[in-house]
Amino acid sequence: MATDYFAVLGVSRDASDSDLKRAYRKLARDLHPDVNPDPGAKERFQEVTRAYEALTDPEKRRIVDLGGDPFDAAGAGAGAGGFGGAGFGGLGDIMDAFFGGAATRGPRSRTRAGRDALIPVELDLDETVFGTTKDITVDTAVLCTVCTGAGTAPGTHPTTCTTCSGRGEVQSVQRGFLGQVVSSRVCPTCAGTGQVIPEPCPECAGDGRVRSRRTLQVKVPAGVEDGMRIRLTGQGEVGPGGGPAGDLYVEIHERPHDVFTRDGEDLHCRVTLPMTSAALGTTLNLTTLDGDEDLDIKPGTQSGSVLTLRAHGAPRLRGTGRGNLLVHVEVATPTRLDAEQEKLLRELAALRGEDQPDSHREAQGGLFSRVRDAFNGR
């Protein structure tokens, strides 16, 4: 059964060339092996590429519309419906297929689209929050400046392949009980292009492109997060034969910060307060990404409290405003006291009635009574 290439690309059967191109670029961008590490993405990418080639080549599209598969070993001559199926255009096609003729695919272009590229870039937290401009070094295939993609030495031109006479494929004949069966395959000499390069370009060896290291400037918008990708259109690999370049994706890797952690647009940090400061209240000078800020600690602040500094987080990529800075408070209990400090704490405990054993039992009893009441439904 022939492959439904329209379903592979997710388009309708009356899709235009622009619809096909749009669908292919979207799928190829998501499935390209340089972008998608999924083991099955490579096979799916190849399937999508075959579908695009089948539907954009006029001859292959004609075979698909007739119900055949242009990549089938028998070409257009073996349709999905046998003798009377849609794979044959009529009696003439049947006669050609079995008694000396064969449908041809035609030569393929030497020029093909280039691949996308992926470059990781490490940034500090303040760079992802406020944005920055980075120079990155990219090692990719670029257009050969000697032959400008033609692949030929200066002053020379490609010639017609003598093996296939420019058709891009060769035919083989097999005899059967119904006569001779003719099938076609890609020409091994010209790889299906119908042309050969007798004198390749000395710079690119006929490929039309060379490897080059170049520096690009990347503008990182404020508010990007770890794992996000910035797309640079047309900055990827130049294709064989000087084909259009793919895209370059810059993947953001955010370095861990010594003080702050990030959760979307919000930033988090922890501060430790002495027991006395938490009890009496104080003003804490806190260093943020925006500079020093005074944070009011109210009397009686408990360990585990979260205080909020509004609009001190990261900007929102979609929308306006910024996230918040959430300050998590931890109250430190002294572990070693000198005699004077212990005396003062005991006096404080006595003033508050916390130095009697009954006060602990009352607190414990109150806890148990609340648990008991909860079980009894009170």
Cα–Cα distance for residue pair 34/280, rounded to 1 Å: 58
204 marked as binding residue: yes
Specify the 3-state DSSP secondary structure of 13. coil
Angle between helices 17-31 and 39-56 (to 10 degrees): 170
Residue 53 contacts residue 42 (beta carbons within 8 Å)? no
Name the nearest CA neighbour of 241 among 59, 112, 100, 71: 112
Token pair in block for residue 133: 């401009």
161 marked as binding residue: yes
The set of long-range contacts for 300-304, using a CB threshold of 8 Å and a minimum separation of 24, is 301/273, 301/329, 301/331, 302/278, 302/329, 302/331, 303/278, 303/329, 303/330, 303/331, 304/328, 304/329, 304/330
Token pair in block for residue 70: 């242009």
Residue 168 contacts residue 109 (beta carbons within 8 Å)? no
Q: Name the DSSP letter for residue 153.
A: -
269 marked as binding residue: no
Cα–Cα distance for residue pair 23/5, rounded to 1 Å: 12
Residues annotated within the binding site for Zn(2+) are 144, 147, 161, 164, 187, 190, 201, 204
List binding-site positions: 144, 147, 161, 164, 187, 190, 201, 204
